Structure 1
Amino acid sequence: MGQKINSLGFRLGKIKKHKSIWYSKFNKYQTILKEDIFIRQYLENLKLNFLNILILREEINNKILIVIEVSNLKSLDLDIKTIINNIKKKLKISEKILIKFNEIKNIFKNSRAITYLIITQLQKRISYKKIINNILSKIKKEKIGGIKISIAGRINGAELARYEWFKKGRIPLQTLRADIDFNFSKLYTSYGILGIKVWIFKKELY
């Protein structure tokens, strides 16, 4: 079962929290859900490699708070006012929108940061084995239980698609108390799509 289900979805409500936190009446649920999907897609289309996007809604204060996790806060060059105005225009909403940034200092404990690192280096035509070996050597110093990285597709432009995976330590996917950070990303290349998955086993809770 641990191999056939999303590791985050499997743990939602137990040790993992939802990425959108709000409450609404049944007739409003569909429109609010569509708004959340649009906000996420709009921010991801900026291609600034945001690690996580959390949306909090306060109906009483008529406010939407968007918390964005980034790896390097200093490198961001954003006009937040135009971003907020564009979201408001597209969604035609009157709610007050606030955007807050949180910097993650240790990217080697974040699965999304590692997938971005792999994607940027693959785009520079660096060998996938060299990339993953560098990541595994750097992750030795971190206090984590284990890591697994998989790449699927026409790797290095090969004629046949294949599946390669690398593992270090434990990845107990069936254990609900295991704090596992998972991310899946796609890399669009001239010879096809590569699927990159990263599992990080941080620690056992309880």
Structure 2
Amino acid sequence: MGHKVHPNGFRLGVYRNWEAKWFAPDKEYKPLLLEDVRLRRMLMIRLKNAGLARIETERSSSALTITLHTAKPGIVIGKGGTSVDQLRDELEKITGKRVRVTIQEIKKPELAAQLVAENVAAQLEKRIAFRRAIKQSLMKTMRAGAQGVKIRVKGRLGGSEMARVEWNREGRVPLHTLKADIDFGQTEAKTTFGRIGVSAWVYTGNFPTEAPPKPAAAVEEPVDAGVPVGAAIGEAPSPLAELVQVAIPAPAPEAAPTPAPAPVTAEAPAAKPKRATRATKASTADGGEKPAPKRATRARATTTEKSDAPKAPRARAVKKKE
């Protein structure tokens, strides 16, 4: 549902306030609502070139206050305030009440979704390709500091016979997140092929949350009247110092220093005596040293000469018949 519901209406009463701040009885509600709609349409047409992004109305019993959020306040005010005076006179004739007009300047018009949509619509009316117009608006909005922007156009794009929908997005636009500050604006571009609807979503971050409450200041206790002035002004012993004095025992008397142990020199361990062999035993018995005999290797006996004597026939074992 985040893609279907109006982003501003979805956040009304939670993070965003109403644009029409007034109430009326049942019988007067319908004519006042119709009057409010007519005033908004008249102001949007009258101040089309002034970059009007938002209109807020506030009613009282005998007066009407209109707040205009515009990117070009100089066009609304005019030279010497003549344009504002003429606009106020026209509004008083329509409503029959005293009208007060206040103007608030938009410092970053690239972040206002209504102005972004109107910019794209103006380029489409000048026969600029819709993809190029969308791309340029996306780049300008992201450079101004937006975290995400989405632009959608619907209609006979490029003069095609069949209407279609095209959209593009930069960054992220979390429509389901209530705390996300998403501004929405829509308008229409009147071309020779028909009207083209333009919608824009601008995400500038999350709404600021309330700061945690500060801790209450410590209340000083009054000084008793019977306590002397010097005692009241002097520093009282802290309970932490008393606990430290009780917990830490008194230091034990120092013992006589023990003599340092004698230095130990590391010597190589004595080599173990080798096991006496037969050769060493014979040499020690004769009184002289003899070289140890080499280990005898078995050699196969080979006969170089063949005997001329005939070989005896092998005896065959004969089994006796029983």
* Superposition TM-score, scaled by structure 1 size: 0.90
Cα drift, residue 110 of structure 1: 0.3
Corresponding residue of 1:80 = 84
Identity %: 28
Letter of the structure 1 residue corresponding to residue 42 of structure 2: Y
Cα drift, residue 139 of structure 1: 2.6
Letter of the structure 1 residue corresponding to residue 28 of structure 2: K
C-alpha distance in structure 2 between counterparts of 1:193 and 1:42, whole Å: 20
Letter of the structure 2 residue corresponding to residue 184 of structure 1: Q
Cα drift, residue 141 of structure 1: 2.5
Corresponding residue of 1:159 = 161
Structure 1 segment 53-202 matched on structure 2, within 5 A: 53-59=55-61, 62-76=62-76, 77=78, 79-91=83-95, 93=96, 95-202=97-204
> Gaps (5+ residues) in structure 2?
210-322
User: How many residue pairs are counted as aligned between the two chains?
Assistant: 202
Cα drift, residue 143 of structure 1: 2.8
- Are 1:25 and 2:10 matched, yes or no? no
Higher strand share: 1
Which gives a bigger RCO, structure 1 or 2 (Cα 8 Å, sep 6+)? 1
Check conservation: 2:113, 2:201, Cα contact below 8 A: yes
C-alpha distance in structure 1 between counterparts of 2:107 and 2:122, whole Å: 19
Cα drift, residue 55 of structure 1: 0.6
Corresponding residue of 1:52 = 54
Cα drift, residue 155 of structure 1: 0.8
> Gaps (5+ residues) in structure 1?
none
Cα RMSD (Å): 1.7
Corresponding residue of 1:5 = 5
Letter of the structure 1 residue corresponding to residue 88 of structure 2: I
Bigger radius of gyration, 1 or 2? 2
Runs of 4+ displaced beyond 6 Å = none
Cα drift, residue 37 of structure 1: 1.1
Corresponding residue of 2:308 = none
